[in-house]
Structure 1
Amino acid sequence: MGEIFTHRLRVRYSECDQQGVVFNGQYLFLYDVALTEWWRAALGSHVDVLEQGYDLVVAEARIRYRDGARFDDLLDVRMPLVKLGTTSMIVRPEFRVGDRLMADGEIRHVFIDPPTKRKREIPPDVRMALEPYLVDAAE
């Protein structure tokens, strides 16, 4: 099993809805924050990535809501990488407060050439940096 990157965030008041839980739309924003930090840890800053001639975009996103994280909760965003294809990767994020699962899902990213926005193969150095995070999808 590969290493699963996890980023911890504290839920802010502004991320909650009138029901007192994290607003459903915020989960993709929180995912993006965790992805940015994972990327920084594995590959450097986003500016470095762009200067090397690639970027990644979200092609599909699905989130299942299971419980409600609340203001001031410490929310761990786990980022299991379950597929590293030729031009895309799939992450199955888990949003947890302690051992309670708040939400989970599946996000597919496609690597692109920034000027043309056309998909491109995952660069070899990126593949090498991400392979330690690849987990068995059945786990």
Structure 2
Amino acid sequence: MGEDEVAALLARLHAAQNDFYGGGGDAALREVLSPDVSWHVPGDNAIAGHYEGIEAVLAYFAERRDLAGRTFRMRPGDLLTGRGEWAASFTDGEAVLGGRRVRWSTVGLYRLSGGRVAECRLLPLDPEAFDAVWAGPAAGIRAAPTGPEAATIALASALSAFRVRPRHCDAQGMVYAGRYHEFFEDAFLDWLEEYAGGYARLRDEGVDMVIVASACDHRRPARLGDPLTVEARPERGGRTSLTMAFTVRGPAGPVAEGRITYVAVGREGAAIGLPDALAAVVRAEDRGR
């Protein structure tokens, strides 16, 4: 298959998957998958396994859909093709699991045959983080609800995941205390991207979010190589201010908890009302409590 044909086929696959994961039917998937398709998912998690045949693969898709309460979405990125029957697609995923919005990245290696997808081998870029995301109900992850409750949960938080790097650590290989405030700020930027159009959009509108108070409580040390997640969620809002709460979790549980209060500042350097996008999130949070 030519590069354009491969791109079109995988675009059809990803569109059909997103429709199915959102609650749609499986007709489009049956058109794009070979009857004897196989799917290989690595790791120690609730969805790992080797699925042979279209019915088994569709059952696997349904399991992911149900675990995520129909909030799972795929965001395909770069596509690599060659002269053979294999193609690689870099894809980001996100879902609401256990009341938190989580993200991960994978490479899907697809074998194409007869104008359909005949095989996929999923390769998470961070296997440990992928296992944590899809740990399943036994690890405390419950399927996300649908309807109004799902909307409240989606607004409640965003989750950023990363691994502790040498630059984060002191000479003992533990995360330096001051780094947690950087983690909070990075998580806030991710939260803004998710719910307010991003920091750049606020700046274009002449608004900056200035820190006026911050605090961090340390629970246990995080060490070099640990996979960490940072949950960011709005705690309260005023006419000009927004207080965000942060929880950093590691392999053994909560590592640190923080709280930062921001004030919206205009081009003249004076406090102004919260931008409409942020005010709408605060109102939705207040209704959900």
What's the TM-score, normalizing by structure 1? 0.86
Q: How far has the Cα of 1:22 moved from its partner?
A: 0.5
Aligned match of 1:30 in 171, 183, 198? Answer: 183
2:193 aligns with one of 40, 45, 53: 40
Q: Report matched runs for 1:48-63 at 5 Å.
A: 48-63=201-216
Q: Secondary structure of 2:201's match? A: helix
Secondary structure, aligned partner of 1:23 = coil
TM-aligned CA distance change 1:57 to 1:17, over 3 Å: same
Q: CA, structure 1 residues 37+97, in 2 after alignment: closer, same or farther (shift >3 Å)?
A: same
Number of the residue aligned with 2:270 = 118
Q: Deviations over 1:60-115 (max 9, x none)?
A: 011011111111211111112110111101112111114511111211111110x2
- Is contact 2:164–2:223 with CA below 8 Å preserved after alignment? yes
Taking the aligned partners of 1:78 and 1:67, their CA distance within structure 2 comes to 17
The TM-score, its normalising length taken from structure 2, stands at 0.44
In 2, Cα distance between equivalents of 1:75 and 1:131: 30
1:11 Cα deviation after fit: 0.9
Greater RCO, CA 8 A, separation 6+? 1
Q: Which amino acid aligns with 2:253?
A: R
Contact in 1 for aligned 2:157/2:191 (Cα 8 Å): no
Correspondence for 2:226: 73
Which has the higher mean CA deviation after the structures are superposed, 53-62 or 97-106?
A: 97-106
Query: What RMSD over aligned residues (CA atoms) do the two structures have, in Å?
Result: 1.9
Q: Which has the higher helix share?
A: 2
The answer to whether the 8 Å contact 1:10/1:75 transfers is yes
For 2:213 and 2:197, locate their aligned partners in 1 and report how far apart those are by CA, in whole Å: 24
Q: Map Cα deviations across residues 20-79 of structure 1 (whole Å, 9 max, x no partner).
A: 210001001111111111111112232221111211011001101111111121111111
Instruction: Answer whether contact 1:4 1:133 (CA < 8 A) is retained.
Output: no
- Partners in 2 of 1:9 and 1:57 — Cα distance? 25
Contact 1:87 1:120 (8 Å CA) reproduced? yes
Matching residue within 214, 228, 250 for 1:97: 250
How many angstroms does 1:13 deviate by? 1.1
Larger Rg: 2
AA at the equivalent of 2:274: I
**Helix, strand or coil at the partner of 1:8:** strand
Aligned-partner SS, 1:80: strand
**Contact 2:195/2:277 (8 A) holds in 1:** no
Q: 1:71 to 1:109 in 2, by over 3 A?
A: same
Q: Is the 8 A contact 2:175 2:223 kept in 1?
A: yes
The answer (yes or no) to whether the contact 1:42–1:130 under 8 Å persists in 2 is no
Q: 1:117 is matched by which residue type in structure 2?
A: G
Query: Structure 1 residues 72 and 86, CA, compared in 2 at 3 Å: closer, same or farther?
Result: same
For structure 2, the 5+ residue unaligned runs are 1-151
Aligned residue-pair number:
135
Give the letter for the 1:125 counterpart.
Answer: A
Unpaired runs of 5+ residues, structure 1, are none
Equivalent pairs: percent with the same residue? 23
What is aligned with 2:91?
A: none
